[in-house]
Amino acid sequence: MAVSTMVRSSAMLRNSIADAPASPLGAFERRPSWVASHHRRGVIFGEASEESFLGQSVRLAHSRSTGSVKRAGRWIVEAAATFDTQTKVARVRIGTRGSPLALAQAYQTRDKLKAAHPGLAEEGALEIIIIKTTGDKILSQPLADIGGKGLFTKEIDDALLNGDIDIAVHSMKDVPTYLPEGTILPCNLPREDVRDAFICPNYSSLAELPEGSVVGSASLRRQSQILHKYPHLKVENFRGNVQTRLRKLSEGTVQATLLALAGLKRLDMTEHITAILATDDMLPAIAQGAIGIACRTGDSKMEEYLASLNHEGTRLAISCERAFLAKLDGSCRTPIAGLAERTEDGCSFRGLVATTDGKQVLETSRKGSFSYDDMIALAQDAGAELISRAGPDFFKW
């Protein structure tokens, strides 16, 4: 497990090591390559290289928990978040996928933390750690065929639970409705534009595409809505990051594609957009355009940091949409869409479920107050209605 540590100064650490009592782990080698780190389960001892100790950050490559270790002599472990002029180490490790869009979202999170907490603006106070997920490794198959929800979050969740990272930055539409035990997701950044963008080099809209034209999309939600309104078109699984999809489009693999407008904005790539689809024409994915940040349960310091970034209006809207998804027990095999929006007099919600071929599309809507309990209730009610209308065999494919 990689763990960061903070000490008053390199000189004090060397003196402390020289004066350190025997470790409860057994014989404690008194050399500069041994350091101690504050951890939520107590104090961790581990071995770090001399080079990394004298550099800008200290990492414990092999660590073991000792439970409670008493201070003795000049052996001082600095639990508070402080830097000195000689040793600067990461205080918040930000876990993310490695795609350009995921990194853009992680950088946005980093910059917001710096702005909200001057102490985190110090060099080395924040570290971005890239974690490759199953969804990133397997690009040749539809998501539904390799496990569906959680493919872009599981390895990041594991790193969070293992203590390898302190917070995890996710695209909320990738996050399963049930979080792993031991984690919470208390923070949503302000939501970007929820709409989808139509991208095509030769035609200005889906309606203009000739019969038999292929639209590339990995999203069953997009595929079903396209086929429902334009049955003369074809859809094809089309995976990869934004740059990969645009390259495939330019090579003529497909005639058009749809991408989330939010991602194109965050990547500063809006020049590729042919048209922006109204939500009446293409209802967005659950939580589209929203970034969520998770931490470990009980990590009060991270919760404090994340509370300062949370946009409550976004959190409520996302909670509403995810409650609708949970009620439907939706997976990546189920085309589901939903959008909660704040209105002058409260909340407006629209939900949709469809068959994968687009031949059946069921929609519903609700209005209520813009409060957590009411929004969860109306979303669950909307989901129950669609389950009732769909019948027992609707979701079996």
- What percentage of the chain exceeds 70 in pLDDT? 72
Min mean pLDDT across 16-30, 145-159, 333-347 is at: 16-30
DSSP 280-307: TTSPPPTTTT-EEEEEETT-HHHHHHHH
Pairing mode, if any, of strands 167-171 and 92-96? parallel
pLDDT in tens, 198-255: 999 999 999 999 999 999 998 999 999 999 999 999 999 887 789 989 999 999 999 9
Question: Any idea which residues carry the catalytic annotation?
Answer: 174
**pLDDT over 60 (residue 16):** no
3-state secondary structure of 44: strand
Which pLDDT band holds residue 329 (cuts at 50, 70, 90)?
confident
Alpha carbon separation from 282 to 331, 350, 393 (Å, rounded): 19, 12, 25
All structural domains of the chain: 89-189+290-310 (3.40.190.10), 196-276 (3.40.190.10), 312-389 (3.30.160.40)
DSSP 170-192: EEGGGS-SSPPTTEEEEEEPPP-
Residue of 289 and 56 predicted with greater confidence: 289
pLDDT in tens, 148-190: 567 779 999 999 999 999 999 999 998 998 899 999 999 999 9
3-state secondary structure of 254: coil
- How high is the pLDDT of residue 144? 55
DSSP 128-161: EEE---HHHH--SS-GGGGT-TTTTTHHHHHHHH
Q: How confident is the prediction for the chain on average, in pLDDT?
A: 79
Which pLDDT band holds residue 388 (cuts at 50, 70, 90)?
very high
**pLDDT over 90 (residue 139):** no
**pLDDT over 70 (residue 300):** yes
- How high is the pLDDT of residue 275? 98
- How high is the pLDDT of residue 172? 96
Whole-model pTM: value is 0.75
Report which secondary-structure segment, H or E, holds 222. Answer: helix 220-229
- How high is the pLDDT of residue 142? 54
**pLDDT over 60 (residue 89):** no
